[in-house]
Amino acid sequence: MNEQSDLIDVCAVSDVMPDMPVKADVDGVDVAVFQVDSDYYVTQDLCTHGPGSLAEGYVEGDEIECPFHQGKFSIVTGQPTAAPCNIPLKIWQVVVRDDRVCVVRQ
Amino acid sequence: MNVLHDNAVDGGVVIVGAGQAGGRAAETLRSEGFEGRVTLIGEEVERPYERPSLSKEMLLDTSVETIAWLHAPEFYAEQDIALKLGVSATAIDRNARSISLSDGSRLEYGVLLLATGARVRMLDVPGAAEHCHYVRSLEDSRALRAKLVAGKRVVVIGAGFIGLEVAAAATTRGCDVTVIEATDAPLGRVAPPLLRDYYRVLHSSHGVALRFDAQVVGMASDGDAVVVTTNTGETWPADIVVAGIGVIPNAELAQAAGLGCDRGILVDAFGATGDPRVLAAGDVARHHNPLLDRAILLESWQNAQNQAIALARNIASKGDAVPYSEIPWFWSDQYGINLQIYGLLEDDGEFAVRGDPTSDHWLMAQIRDGRIVFAAGINAARDLRPLRELMKLGAVVTRGDIEDQAIAMPELLRRARAPRSVA
């Protein structure tokens, strides 16, 4: 099995910073890429509650706050952690390869 | 020991008001594991929903209803929350610990949460009862949006947030809009001059006619139209008249029951009235805010949600109660322009402006004794957000810190949080 074909390249590691997530595309879906400490995470960019872009949101620790209504999600698990968000985000498994953030194709 | 919790478990929680605050309180009681009886009573026939979209998205698009329901209809029964809609509470008997309802029934409580919200202030001039629309309920919004047809003349009375949002929606729908305001500028005392100017220009640049320093004294039919008259002797023909002149907290129930009220139900930082079994949250609650160190009444989405959640958590918890303590946050969307505000405007302090205040991307802060007390941004949500943390910290900043675009706002926050070096 060719492992490479299961990985989708998302962005450069240098594109993302701890309090500045970046918006990218995975197979036509907008995603938000986060750096928390030395790890990278990828979630859907569109908030599950309203038309907020999570890449435009506010990072606090390992949570992302949607700019729309300031509801929150765990960047790590995608689970909602503060109202009004109550539907989890879709997340991708991340693999960092050659200074590139990649996700495992779902 | 948490007496509030014990009282709630023993006698159940009754929530009067099934709006956003009441709905969130009920939901939070269950999500925090409260297993006692929860009853949610609402005067409106709809299940809990949030109001902000009523003066914005709801008025813009007739093909889809943008109603922010808190939950699907099944949620309440699934969560074992007894929902009684279309019925109002008529009296509280604090000795018997019960409330009387308009359907003739009585309901006992262990803890009572009053989330009765506010009602619109109605224009008290001849003709208003017959011709004037207001925007508060879902029913109001549905009625108004059906009428906002291109070419119709709309007269909006009041240039507060509701008035301006309605004016923006009507203009976007192709209506011919006039806004009549009694004071000399939009947004009253909640916004600083720079922001008031911005909105004056924003609306006039979209073709809205703005008439300041004029009070409406009456309105009357003229064929199919309505003619609005002001104290300046001018007349304004309209197809639709809408007034947004403020709201009055629904504190009468509490007042009649002997609870302290003053333009709202008076509560402490835990939402408690003078009666330890009676709490209040949302638009009706004039509450002590520990960060601002004074009593405030917030007519905002954030307060309705977060105060209700905080109080419900305290009821559900067996541990010590936690005070509700947040920096007020408010937003308004008009013509696709997003305004966000943190804190409350004070009478004194200096203003710092970051960016060009005549552009569509800038922010400002009011600094008093070195601390930010108010901050507002136009299409600047991301830059503004760190200021909320700075305000919560009581961090000392200078005007230059805000105005210098070479200093990123998150950097300012990092500096404020960094431990002081030992000299």
Instruction: Identify whether the C-beta of residue B328 lies closer than 8 Å to the C-beta of residue B300.
Output: yes
Each residue of B371-381: b (16+ CB within 10 Å) or e? Answer: bbbbbbbbbbb
- Plot region of B196 (φ>0 → left; ψ -120 to 50 → alpha; else → beta): alpha
Query: Would an 8 Å CB–CB cutoff place B335 in contact with chain A?
Result: no
Q: Where does A3-104 sit in CATH, by number?
A: 2.102.10.10
Percentage with pLDDT > 90 across chain B: 95
Distance between CA atoms of residues A48 and A91, nearest Å: 12
The DSSP line for B269-331 is TT-B-SSTTEEE-GGGEEEEETTTTEEEE--SHHHHHHHHHHHHHHHH-SS---------EEE
Which one-letter amino acid corresponds to residue A97?
A: R
Contacts of A83 in chain B (CB under 8 A): 24, 28, 305-306, 309
> Under an 8 A CB cutoff, do B309 and A83 touch?
yes
> Under an 8 A CB cutoff, do B382 and A83 touch?
no
A17 DSSP 8-state letter: B
Q: Taking residues A46-75, what's their average pLDDT? A: 93
What pLDDT was estimated at residue B243?
A: 98
Query: Would an 8 Å CB–CB cutoff place B382 in contact with chain A?
Result: yes
- Between helix B409-417 and helix B381-393 the angle, nearest 10°, is 20
Percentage with pLDDT > 90 across chain A: 85
The yes-or-no answer to whether B3-119+247-316 and B128-243 have a common fold is yes
What pLDDT was estimated at residue B1?
A: 62
CA distances, B384 to each of A49, B301, B388, B401, B412 (Å): 21, 18, 7, 13, 11
ipTM value > 0.95? no
What pLDDT was estimated at residue A3?
A: 55
Low-confidence ranges of chain B (pLDDT < 50): none
**Angle ∠(B203,B206,B209) on CA atoms, nearest 5:** 60
Each residue of B269-292: b (16+ CB within 10 Å) or e? Answer: bbbbbebebbbbbbbbbbbbbebb
> Residue B377: helix, strand or coil by DSSP?
strand
> Under an 8 A CB cutoff, do B309 and A67 touch?
no
Class of domain B128-243: alpha beta
Instruction: Identify whether the C-beta of residue B307 lies closer than 8 Å to the C-beta of residue B271.
Output: yes
Q: How many CA atoms lie within 13 A of B418 on its CB side?
A: 9
- Between helix B301-316 and helix B3-11 the angle, nearest 10°, is 90
Write down the domain spans for chain B: 3-119+247-316, 128-243, 346-417
What pLDDT was estimated at residue B189?
A: 86
Q: Where does B346-417 sit in CATH, by number?
A: 3.30.390.30
CB within 8 Å of A46: residues ≥ 6 apart? A30, A52, A53, A54
Query: Would an 8 Å CB–CB cutoff place A88 in contact with chain B?
Result: no
> Residue B110: helix, strand or coil by DSSP?
coil
CATH assignment of B3-119+247-316, among 3.40.50.740, 3.40.50.2300, 3.40.50.720, 3.50.50.60 = 3.50.50.60
Choose among B410, A62, A80, A78: nearest CA to A70.
Answer: A80
Write down the domain spans for chain A: 3-104
pLDDT category of residue A1 using cuts at 50, 70 and 90: very low
- pLDDT digit string, tens, across residues B2-35: 899 999 999 999 999 999 999 999 999 999 999 9
B165 DSSP 8-state letter: H
> Under an 8 A CB cutoff, do A19 and B410 touch?
yes
What pLDDT was estimated at residue A5?
A: 67
Q: In the numeric block, which tokens belong to residue B261?
A: 């009220």
How far the first Cα of chain B sits from its last, in Å, is 45
